[in-house]
Structure 1
């Protein structure tokens, strides 16, 4: 097997003739790898498998790649669902290298913003979280001179994080060389106290030190809404990345990113099948040997990688037969424990005739009074996020029009029960969301009154239906939680394998935690571990595609749920 040729840049990159329906592989051909799920992790696993000379087939139940990294359309508008910022958009770091290897940024421009988010209080006062610590410090001190010690402490640490580059996304933890470990130590040790202090301080505890009540709430909402339980460290890390242009918005957005990686994968000779729902993993003598699709077709391989929902994989595709203490802790104890999963969201996309108000931030969190908050069905927090999506990238709205994305954290159970028991009530709650968003925007921007063409609402139940994510969670396990610690051991100690089962790996956010770069890196890690096991050299090289990105590359977009406010009002 050591002599298996890898797909090379500029080569034809065609896989050998497929024999996926044969129990035994064609003699003399490379090992076959089936990948379940065409999210970023699954596409990454397929791509790195091809680069390393393996034969790969990605199976996706939906009609699009990307999983949660997706978009849909309505009346010429593109509703971009996932990316708010993407780590790795600037050159010179490991995250960017992964995206270059996967072709994710091929031919694309990147939009960077001077601010991370703006928070507007119930009284109209505003806190702008500038990425520049000097500008941020001056702004915050003007708002609340009494909070000078805490303001200066945060901005001082932000300056320190801007000097640190730590993006560990190239090598699987258990395969790191001594040199790689030493390089990490040289970065971490001088800043150990900085990391430790900010990782050990919950943002809630830090924010509660402020005398100004608006600052106490605003700091919790730097990430648009309050993720609850996060320490200060990720806020500093992401703002520092944004300051360096390493947390920008790529042209084409979420589905554009997925389409680019899909193009890279198929260009390497990888195969992908849509509308191919895996019903179970086929196991023989405690070794995965293939999968059974809905409809009964069986496909075989020497290795199976599941980049699908974790609970579905463990309990559904494998019938709960291969678990251990870590898996049991995650999926029997923590999975349904409050605060363990990242919340689900309600998304309301608004199509507007004409332009948007000049001077408004690209992203604003509005803190709501009790009356407004009570109008958001299933709401978990008294706030709503308004993003001016037309300012992120071109192609999201027809010429002369604009699109806005409004979101709030919401209770999955509320929406799932409604949809299961009373579809009419489910649609009515969607109408209530649309009506509130329309009225709220017209209140904030009187100049758009009469120009809102449509409001398209997607609930957490929609997310669950189209992505399979447990409880509609958009980022799976919540970072910096007990689940985070266990997941790190799944990747580092267990090599992304399940106890007692050979020929099988897991990848994706249910193993490596949320965030697109982390998901993509798990696909890389899974193939690194597999190559190590097979005695094959792991290979990775950057895409050489220089074709400029254009909106036509999004392809045909679906219309999720076939529901929007305009259609509802027209009935």
Structure 2
């Protein structure tokens, strides 16, 4: 359930003498909630303002007719106790009382002719399968799987302190962890996956390898593929009970237990600045709220261009939010999601996730598609509660452009809805072809477009993960975190957090909130404090709270 917006009156300019430092956080996504949690643990008093009715940002879900449409998490780095990233989730209570679903398969790729390759998490099983698929590619297959075993054997820590604040001992720990794999990291980070895949003789493997991550992230080298597959093999990339919204609700629960206050439907319109210092925020309802420090954990371009009215920026944010924003390959693409409610069970023996490679003619029928492929996930296999008893749910997704969807929604709502109908019709037809008889059991289809994502999360261009790793934006984002310390020159009392600052991905978003508070503690002369949550209450579906219906219309099976 959403937390009530209670607490001291922050519309007054001055806080009580001797009181705790007050911090306003903009946005109740994972980064904003993490910022609030760490600030509360470190002795500050915080309040989060969120424009939506739910926490989580893109880490969200919505429902219709008993089905829950889980939007974000495909796998979560940090699910294994003792492994990299787990400490952050424990401190935030994100996995409290939850089981973790682990899969033997990371993803399967099927081409237009029905040939399939399965990407098993286990390096030995994967190697046997790939060799059976294409004996002619044995040297490349063995090289890939040998590197996968090396990644799986490494014990890499997740850095929980920003580089400028790390102690000598922390720096030495990092060096000791990275040094054994340095040559491996360097080689795989400088080898583009596209180039590596082109060396394969088998046409299926050439196309399948880049789609191991569901759809192909443009410009990725080998390293992230191997790192993530190794994490899955080690149980550190599982799926948490409760899914995306369950993750956000758990962090929200942790934040409230620490004394934090969340205000939903409280959209921030301006960050108030006086004499070069951020002093508070003004909401859409006209009220102003004041604090000693403001942290913006929402969309980066929105923060700089709208909330700060373009008056406070830096060379780094100018490069990120203007020069690089529209340059191809820097942002993760937007996506179209079609959630399909099915009466009865899903096809037995199918892996939980499959990428289907489409013909150019099929791809042209998917509105706005950037790649000729469609991902089909059997979401009922991920966790209980996503579908009513006796029913199942699938998630069909593809990368899509944003501009055409936004323009259509803004100029012709009827045509916009018709375009969604095209997606639903294609999905229904495709599922019937791949799983005969399934279409007749479809009860509804709910389509979320890139315009939907932008509308409900505020993410520029509907990007699902903001900056893409290994792009031109990565160096600028690292500079914003490390050299600029998540601040804007000339603007005191203000900092930024989230994936528009610290790169995409949930664990990065959460860690960025930790970094922001560590920097703030240094500025305020406070000791940074963090400890694991001790909440042992088992997760249950009631913790989702009241679920909204983000789309007004769903496509019924008979339409």
Alignment partner, residue 242 of structure 1 = 232
Spell out the pairing of 1:278-293 with structure 2 (5 A cutoff): 278-293=268-283
Preserved CA contact (<8 Å) 1:384 1:408: yes
Alignment partner, residue 352 of structure 2 = 362
Aligned-pair CA distance for 1:516: 0.3
- Whether 1:273 and 2:263 are equivalent positions in the alignment is yes
Aligned-pair CA distance for 1:371: 2.3
Q: In structure 1, how many angstroms separate the alpha carbons of the residues matched to 2:199 and 2:468?
A: 24
Preserved CA contact (<8 Å) 2:83 2:236: no
Preserved CA contact (<8 Å) 2:157 2:177: no
- Whether 1:177 and 2:150 are equivalent positions in the alignment is no
Spell out the pairing of 1:520-559 with structure 2 (5 A cutoff): 520-559=510-549
Alignment partner, residue 210 of structure 1 = 200
Q: In structure 2, how many angstroms separate the alpha carbons of the residues matched to 1:102 and 1:230?
A: 30
- Whether 1:116 and 2:106 are equivalent positions in the alignment is yes
Q: In structure 2, how many angstroms separate the alpha carbons of the residues matched to 1:169 and 1:80?
A: 29
Aligned-pair CA distance for 1:168: 2.6
Aligned-pair CA distance for 1:169: 3.6
Q: Please, which of 339, 343, 362 is the counterpart of residue 333 of structure 2?
A: 343
Divergent runs of 4+, >3 A: none
Alignment partner, residue 485 of structure 2 = 495
Q: Please, which of 135, 149, 165 is the counterpart of residue 145 of structure 1?
A: 135
- Whether 1:41 and 2:21 are equivalent positions in the alignment is no
Q: Please, which of 468, 471, 480 is the counterpart of residue 481 of structure 1?
A: 471
Residue by residue over 1:338-364, the C-alpha shift from the partner in whole angstroms, topping out at 9 and shown as x without a partner, is: 221100000000000000111101000
Residue by residue over 1:86-144, the C-alpha shift from the partner in whole angstroms, topping out at 9 and shown as x without a partner, is: 00000003411110110100000000000110000111111100111111111111111
Q: Please, which of 342, 356, 359 is the counterpart of residue 352 of structure 1?
A: 342
Preserved CA contact (<8 Å) 1:19 1:26: no
In structure 1, runs of 5+ residues without a counterpart are 1-14
- SS of the residue corresponding to residue 447 of structure 1 reads coil
Preserved CA contact (<8 Å) 2:41 2:530: yes
- Whether 1:566 and 2:546 are equivalent positions in the alignment is no
Residue by residue over 1:163-186, the C-alpha shift from the partner in whole angstroms, topping out at 9 and shown as x without a partner, is: 113243411221111111111101
Alignment partner, residue 11 of structure 2 = 21
Q: In structure 2, how many angstroms separate the alpha carbons of the residues matched to 1:19 and 1:276?
A: 15
Preserved CA contact (<8 Å) 1:107 1:546: yes
Q: In structure 1, how many angstroms separate the alpha carbons of the residues matched to 2:74 and 2:157?
A: 19
Q: In structure 1, how many angstroms separate the alpha carbons of the residues matched to 2:439 and 2:211?
A: 28
- Whether 1:394 and 2:384 are equivalent positions in the alignment is yes
Preserved CA contact (<8 Å) 1:117 1:365: yes
Q: In structure 2, how many angstroms separate the alpha carbons of the residues matched to 1:164 and 1:422?
A: 53
Alignment partner, residue 450 of structure 2 = 460
Q: In structure 2, how many angstroms separate the alpha carbons of the residues matched to 1:537 and 1:75?
A: 48
Preserved CA contact (<8 Å) 2:346 2:392: yes
Q: In structure 2, how many angstroms separate the alpha carbons of the residues matched to 1:44 and 1:332?
A: 27
- SS of the residue corresponding to residue 79 of structure 2 reads coil
User: Mean Cα displacement is larger for which, 245-254 or 86-95?
Assistant: 86-95
Preserved CA contact (<8 Å) 1:16 1:29: no
Q: In structure 2, how many angstroms separate the alpha carbons of the residues matched to 1:17 and 1:27?
A: 17
- Cα distance change on mapping 1:358 and 1:526 into 2, 3 Å: same
Aligned-pair CA distance for 1:19: 3.5
Preserved CA contact (<8 Å) 1:16 1:55: no
Preserved CA contact (<8 Å) 1:339 1:478: yes
Alignment partner, residue 257 of structure 1 = 247
- SS of the residue corresponding to residue 486 of structure 1 reads helix
Q: In structure 2, how many angstroms separate the alpha carbons of the residues matched to 1:169 and 1:73?
A: 36
Q: In structure 2, how many angstroms separate the alpha carbons of the residues matched to 1:325 and 1:36?
A: 23
Q: In structure 2, how many angstroms separate the alpha carbons of the residues matched to 1:167 and 1:119?
A: 31
Q: In structure 1, how many angstroms separate the alpha carbons of the residues matched to 2:461 and 2:321?
A: 13
- SS of the residue corresponding to residue 490 of structure 2 reads coil
- SS of the residue corresponding to residue 446 of structure 1 reads coil
- SS of the residue corresponding to residue 182 of structure 2 reads helix
Aligned-pair CA distance for 1:538: 0.4
In structure 2, runs of 5+ residues without a counterpart are none
Preserved CA contact (<8 Å) 1:98 1:169: no
Q: Please, which of 127, 147, 165 is the counterpart of residue 117 of structure 2?
A: 127
Aligned-pair CA distance for 1:449: 3.5
- Whether 1:76 and 2:66 are equivalent positions in the alignment is yes
Spell out the pairing of 1:90-101 with structure 2 (5 A cutoff): 90-101=80-91
- Cα distance change on mapping 1:43 and 1:568 into 2, 3 Å: farther
- Cα distance change on mapping 1:480 and 1:319 into 2, 3 Å: same
- Cα distance change on mapping 1:38 and 1:110 into 2, 3 Å: same
Q: In structure 1, how many angstroms separate the alpha carbons of the residues matched to 2:206 and 2:419?
A: 32
Preserved CA contact (<8 Å) 1:169 1:518: no
- SS of the residue corresponding to residue 162 of structure 1 reads helix
Alignment partner, residue 6 of structure 1 = none
Q: Please, which of 477, 496, 501 is the counterpart of residue 511 of structure 1?
A: 501
- Whether 1:472 and 2:462 are equivalent positions in the alignment is yes
